[in-house]
Amino acid sequence: MYMQTCVMGLLLVALLPVLFSIADAVDRSNFKTCDQSAFCKRQRDVKPGQSPYRALLETMELSEARLTLQLINDNNKVRLLLELYRLQGNMTRVRINELKPLRPRYEVPDVLIQEPPTESLLLLERDEHGMVLSLGVDDQRLIINARPFRLDIMDGPKVLLSLNSRGLLVFEHLRLRKDTISHKISSTVGSMWDKIKSVFSSKTEADAEGVENDVEQNEAEKVEEVEEVTEEEEQPGMWEETFKSHSDAKPSGPSSISLDFSFPGVDHVYGIPEHADSLKLRTTDGGEPYRLYNLDVFQYELYNPMALYGAVPVLLSHTAERTMGLFWLNAAETWVDISSSRAVQGGGDAPQTDVRWISESGIIDVFIMLGPRPTDVISQYASLTGTQSFPPLSALAYHQCRWNYNDQEDVQAVDNGFDEYDIPYDFIWLDIEHTDGKRYFTWDPNKFSQPREMLQNLKDKKRKMVTIVDPHIKVDSSYKIHKEIRSKDFYIKNKDGGDYEGWCWPGNAGYPDFTNPEMRAWWATMFAYDQYEGTMDNLYTWNDMNEPSVFNGPEVTMHKDALHGGWEHRDVHNLYGFYVQMATAQGLIQRSGGVERPFVLTRAFFAGSQRYGAVWTGDNAAEWGHLKMSIPMCLSLGLVGISFCGADVGGFFKTPSPELLVRWYQAGAYQPFFRAHAHLDTPRREPWLFGPENTALIREAVRQRYTLLPYWYQLFYNAHRTGQPVMRPLWLEYPGDPATFAIEDEFLLGKDLLVHPVTDEGSHGVTAFLPGEGEVWYDVHTYKKHQGNLNLYIPVTMNSIPVFQRGGSIITRKERVRRSSSCMEDDPYTLYVAVNAQGTAEGELYIDDGHTFNYEKQNQFIHRRLTFTEGSLSSSNLSPDSQFSTASWVEKVIFIGVPKPSAATLRTADGAESPLEFEFDPASELLALRKPGVNAGADWTIHLR
Amino acid sequence: MHFHIAVAVIIWAALFVESRKIRGISISYKRFYKERKSFLCIDGSKLIPFEQVNDDYCDCADGSDEPGTAACPSGRFYCTNLGFRPHYIQSSRVNDGICDCCDGSDEYSSPALCQKTCRNLGQQERAELEERMRMLSEGLLMKRQLVEEGADVWREKQAELTDLQKVAEDLQVRLEYLRRRKSDAGAQKEKALTAAQHPTGQEGLRSQIRAELPLDDHGQSLQDTDRLGDKDEGVEPRTDSAAPREESPNEAEVRGGDPSEDDPDVKAAVEAAESAVSDLNKAEEAHQRLQMEIRELEERLAIDYGPEREFLFLLGRCFQITAYEYSYTLCPFNQVTQKSQMGTEVLLGKWDAWDGPPEDLYGVMKYDRGEPCWQGPTRSTHVQLVCGTDSTLRWVKEPSKCHYAMELQTPAACQPQQPSRRGVHNEL
């Protein structure tokens, strides 16, 4: 939302120098460069080509699906344990941890939806240099090279991917501090070990024996290590680090990890959001690496690898032949270096992309998704972290937000404005000012004294509301939420063991420990109607500031040495926002007794966040560049599973010109999460405030969104079932065409709609690439037909939104746009059948109640396949096991690109045939069938003759 | 009562029985929907079978074939609203589960259970209308009075201005004299000083100096100074300075006082020069003050107080309203301020201009150039004026940060009723 403006004078004075030293661009000095982040600098200083790691082949153990092997660092003799798994669905998992870490190292929980099912590994060959394992599929093999340690994944003679081929595996082992103070501490730790040991030995003989042996073995090896380990040189920042005025105590010392991956033949890599940068990742040679560290960045810059609000450590590689992915499961601060080179391979000059991951703590746990098609990689990743949650239908409609709608009267006036100007909307949003002094779960007693009445008024118009609930909790002994969290000891602790406190909107605030499952369970109960007073079932939730944002913390976030139970904040940082949204979504589910689907918007996210709701691209600005950037940002998120993405329409900071506002509505209407939002300091910008012409343009854009809601809903259902993104880069559907690989000014919705928003001021035309040799595309407004695989110049006026329907597709619309999506529930459908060169088309129709889990729990839905072939359009059941009845019927069928028929007949399931009236426009080959009138859930066929 | 309604319904039903199919049209449109074989879209674009009127499928581009359903995107539905005002709603509001017509006729095929509220609404509206009319006529009477008062005030202000301008002219003359006197006295002082430095044979010069000394009267009024001027320089005597002449102690001293051990002539010359400067300064200050007063008055008189100066009475008055933790004060044609409970006062705008739309320019006042907002614009306030029988602030809001809006109710805003737009609107 915002890193700006007043909370209270005191706070302002305290923060002014930090937050506002530059008025209208990010203050980079608030955020670390790699050089300023000690572990990143240490790691990046390691040069390639001198890997000290060697695989101890004799330690190899192979069970059915798991191979383990020790690695040794020949410089310091520290041993690592490598685990290899072959996973179902053509994936390989590589885990590397210390063989005997001084203390356990953090392993990310709760992100994988299950322990990934494995498949058997087969040892094919073995000699003193290494071994070869079969990866089952085709000719795919995994080669382990012993000295230096290196892994290669091969497909036949071709190397798909190599690990540590540049020798950048660096695993900083946990160690004791050398100076006297830490010796004292370590001797305490040592004696604790003795105690633990003695506890074990006092157990029954049988139990103790095994443990004893283990412990003894440990001890023995420790001694051995102590003898072997050559002390490494201390480097600055290993045991303490200071950034600006903030110091990080680092009691555990250095713990970072790094590994390199090489993709021979690859020129295009994507993913690792969130960055305000191009879709295709750029080389970071000579510049900053891409950074993954959830941060509240005030007025972020475009085309910049700086960290933003969310982090998904997933990278995709793509060539015309194969798509692959890497999922680096680590929640600590992470930097990713990308370099591309051209290598001589097989006599030719071939590209290569090298990727290097660096994380501050935890272990190496990486999933290699081997594709081969883009959709395979996406399915593979979805099988690990789950798919997009299926939102209530209304959440796909239009959202009206502003910081802030001032009071109930204001809410009502805005609500009435939409009716007066005949613009549909489903959700009105309340930002932080609606609370009683920034105490979330409360209402301002003056401005929102009757929240139920307000919600009921909205409900009477079938509309809904979202209130903001942030995770920072005002430290105030009379505030119920704070009191309970404190009494249950649920707050994150500072390094000295007291409750961690930082500044945020309410002033001094505590931060609940969302990594604690008990805390999350308690938080969820706070959304019950009797706990969150004044709420009703049409109220949903927005989690902001959950990076977490700490105004007076290092880099505007939490100190890394803060404690979440036994773990440091350093270990879990990028997970915090993920857990906040998880617990909130759980709360919304629980309050309805598990019946209703939740809707929760979050700003911070991690891998797996797609399971809990929507994300938006944070505090953007009312600038053309930000409008443009909304496309690659949401495309990148879609590639890593997060389909429900949007940018603040109009731009959050600053004031858009009417032209920019209109263009943003037009673009936003075709992006998954469609919400207008505005900063407190900006003038009002409800859609009717810019004169009748602009109002009409905005109305038209929003209406286009509403007519397409059936298609959006079906896309989200599909995303929920398969993980395939709703908003797709062109290369995903046309993976063999290199012309699509870097396109980021247009996108596909599903595979059937291509959208090229106008994102330039004063534009008179755009050039859209219509992909696919042999494909045809139809302008959805003029029905004009265009051949695929060409660049098309499209002249535009202010009301143009260039959108094309793919020939060969059937898209369902509801053309009776009403006040809100719920008002349209029983309305009839119009089918748009756009034929391809072969004269065929197909599509789907999905219908359920739009808001409950009954589709899942009771199979209550309709899922139909629509096919048009040889002059017959028919609707058939895709899911015979499900049941649902709808009042909706088929109002009209529009065929695009067909010759004029002599007759059209409808044949219903009972065999009855009736003629259908139609109109035909020869100029655009447009055929409109009048009122088939069949129920949308029924079997039927229409024959054209 | 119920009986009456029943009868009314039966009569109504009987009247309209022939076109019962045609839902959603007004009587004036009935002629387009005469039951025939076919129906011509009202825009003439298409001829369709009559069965296709209101068959829940949109055939006509103008939506005229579906006045009673939601089928046409640009269609409209006529709520008869017996007992209240009939009106049109968008077709999209037919059977959407939300009651829009007070007779419930828009939800004829929806699960919504609509209360029939037309009678109540009608009564309410009539009562409100009566109240509005009463208020309007009362308001207009009061406005008449205000206009008259305004005219008086205007005349008074004009007279005040004339007076001030006259005084200013006189003062201007006086200033010229004083400037001259100052330069003369300065010259005398120089002479006396020179004489004192050459004690022999200068008596004649000294007495000359003494004789020429302008006489001083510290702290005397303008008129007094004038009188001194009259005597010494023979300036045109002022007609209004008829007060009897008094001798000031200083005069006595200068003339009859014992010369001090220093040269008395020099002392007198210096004192005279000083007093000339001081007099001039005072007169200049007075002149500046007067000019300022004149400017202010001229500015006020230059303000547009409405076609009949009906808003003039608001000048010099202030109105207060409290909203949440702040109290707001509007001083029309001057400024708007906001005061917090802690007592800090912030300027929300200074009078700028009338800012209503061309057809109602005097409907909105604009105050701008208030205190700048931190990281934001300078504060401004728009005041909407509405007709009422007293002058009071009705509400205040801050729709965007630092942009305030308030409503001032006042008889001055009452307008004689326009030929009304009441009743059915939006007919083709």
Annotated catalytic residues of A are: 544, 619
**Residues of B whose CB is below 8 A from A818:** 70, 92-93, 96
pLDDT at A187: 45
pLDDT at A775: 97
Q: How far apart are CA A595 and CA A852, in angstroms?
A: 5
Across residues A551-561, what is the average pLDDT? 97
* Cα A132 to the center of its chain, rounded Å: 36
| Range picked from A18-32, B58-72, B406-420 for highest mean pLDDT | B58-72
| Range picked from A578-592, B156-170, B376-390, B408-422 for highest mean pLDDT | A578-592
- Residue B59: pLDDT band (50, 70, 90) is very high
% of chain A surpassing 70 pLDDT: 91
Least confident of A27-41, A214-228, A438-452: A214-228
Assess whether B323 and B227 both reside in one domain.
Answer: no
What one-letter code names the amino acid at B229? G
- pLDDT digits 0-9 by tens, A794-851: 999 999 999 999 999 999 999 999 999 999 999 999 999 999 999 999 999 999 999 9
Across residues B55-74, what is the average pLDDT? 96
Chain A contact probe: residue of B38, B41, B56, B92 with most A CBs at under 10 A: B92
Domain boundary among B96, B116, B136: B116
Domain boundary among B73, B99, B116: B116
Assess whether B61 and B150 both reside in one domain.
Answer: no
How far from A462 is each of A169, A538, A833, CA to CA, in Å? 57, 9, 31
Across residues A322-343, what is the average pLDDT? 94
* A915 near B CB under 8 A: no
Place of tokens 């209240």: B84
Least confident of A23-37, A75-89, A681-695, B407-421: B407-421
Place of tokens 């370099």: A339
Across residues A880-899, what is the average pLDDT? 97
Question: Domain total for chain B?
Answer: 3
Beta-carbon contacts below 8 Å between A and B = 65
Distance, in angstroms, between A407 CA and closest chain B CA?
A: 10
ipTM over the 0.85 cut-off: yes
Place of tokens 């070869």: A132
Q: Give, in words, the CATH class of A31-175+249-266+317-372.
A: mainly beta
Full residue range of the structural domain in which residue B341 is found: 312-413
**Residues of B whose CB is below 8 A from A461:** 98
* A462 near B CB under 8 A: yes
**pLDDT higher than threshold 70 for residue B361:** yes
Least CA distance to A413: which residue of chain B? B399
CB contact under 8 A, A406 and B397: yes
Domain boundary among B67, B99, B116: B116
- pLDDT digits 0-9 by tens, A761-807: 999 999 999 999 999 999 999 999 999 999 999 999 999 999 999 99
Across residues A585-607, what is the average pLDDT? 98
Least CA distance to B403: which residue of chain A? A683
Q: Give, in words, the CATH class of A393-732.
A: alpha beta
* A816 near B CB under 8 A: yes
Across residues A21-25, what is the average pLDDT? 51
Q: How far apart are CA A259 and CA A164, in angstroms?
A: 6
What angle (nearest 5°) sits at the alpha carbon of residue B319, between those of residues B315 and B324? 155
CB contact under 8 A, B70 and A818: yes
Least CA distance to B48: which residue of chain A? A917
Across residues B352-368, what is the average pLDDT? 95
**Which architecture characterizes domain A752-766+776-785+792-944 according to CATH?**
Sandwich (2.60)
Q: What is the CATH number of the domain that holds B397?
A: 2.70.130.10
Cis peptide upstream of residue A404 (ω within 30 degrees of 0): yes
CB contact under 8 A, A818 and B93: yes
What angle (nearest 5°) sits at the alpha carbon of residue B386, between those of residues B381 and B387? 155
Q: Provide the residue ranges of all domains of chain A, joining segments of one domain with +.
A: 31-175+249-266+317-372, 393-732, 752-766+776-785+792-944
Q: Which of B73, B98, B324 minimises the CB distance to A815? A: B73
Assess whether B261 and B359 both reside in one domain.
Answer: no
Assess whether B362 and B386 both reside in one domain.
Answer: yes
pLDDT at A596: 98
A191 vs A716, more confident: A716
Across residues A63-81, what is the average pLDDT? 95
Q: Is residue B183 part of a domain?
A: yes
Distance, in angstroms, between B182 CA and closest chain A CA?
A: 56
- pLDDT digits 0-9 by tens, A688-737: 999 999 999 999 999 999 999 999 999 999 999 999 999 999 999 999 99
**pLDDT higher than threshold 60 for residue B2:** no
pLDDT averaged over every residue in chain A = 92
Q: Which of B96, B402, B403 minimises the CB distance to A823? A: B96
Assess whether B325 and B208 both reside in one domain.
Answer: no
Q: What is the CATH number of the domain that holds B48?
A: 4.10.400.10
Place of tokens 């805390």: A519
How far from A545 is each of A4, A28, A689, CA to CA, in Å? 12, 19, 30
Assess whether B150 and B294 both reside in one domain.
Answer: yes
Assess whether B201 and B242 both reside in one domain.
Answer: yes
CB contact under 8 A, A817 and B73: yes
**pLDDT higher than threshold 70 for residue A188:** no
- Residue B269: pLDDT band (50, 70, 90) is confident
Q: Is residue B422 part of a domain?
A: no
CB contact under 8 A, A818 and B92: yes
Interface of B with A (CB under 8 A): 55, 57, 59, 70-71, 73, 90, 92-93, 96-98, 324, 373-377, 397-403
**pLDDT higher than threshold 70 for residue B353:** yes
- pLDDT digits 0-9 by tens, A195-233: 444 444 444 344 434 444 444 444 444 444 444 555 667
Place of tokens 């069938």: A929
**pLDDT higher than threshold 80 for residue B256:** no
Assess whether B152 and B237 both reside in one domain.
Answer: yes
Across residues A910-931, what is the average pLDDT? 96
- pLDDT digits 0-9 by tens, B298-347: 998 999 999 999 999 999 999 999 998 899 999 999 999 999 988 899 99
Contact predicate A357/A259, CB 8 Å? yes
The DSSP call for residue A499 is: B
Across residues A235-261, what is the average pLDDT? 93
pLDDT at B205: 55
Q: Is residue B275 part of a domain?
A: yes
Across residues A752-760, what is the average pLDDT? 98
Least CA distance to A457: which residue of chain B? B98
Assess whether B320 and B403 both reside in one domain.
Answer: yes
Evaluate whether A31-175+249-266+317-372 and A752-766+776-785+792-944 have a shared fold.
yes
Chain A contact probe: residue of B46, B65, B98 with most A CBs at under 10 A: B98
Distance, in angstroms, between A4 CA and closest chain B CA?
A: 9
Q: Which of A422, A446, A461 minimises the CB distance to B90? A: A422
Burial (CB count <10 Å: 0-12, 13-18, 19+), residue B168: middle
Q: How far apart are CA A587 and CA A520, in angstroms?
A: 9
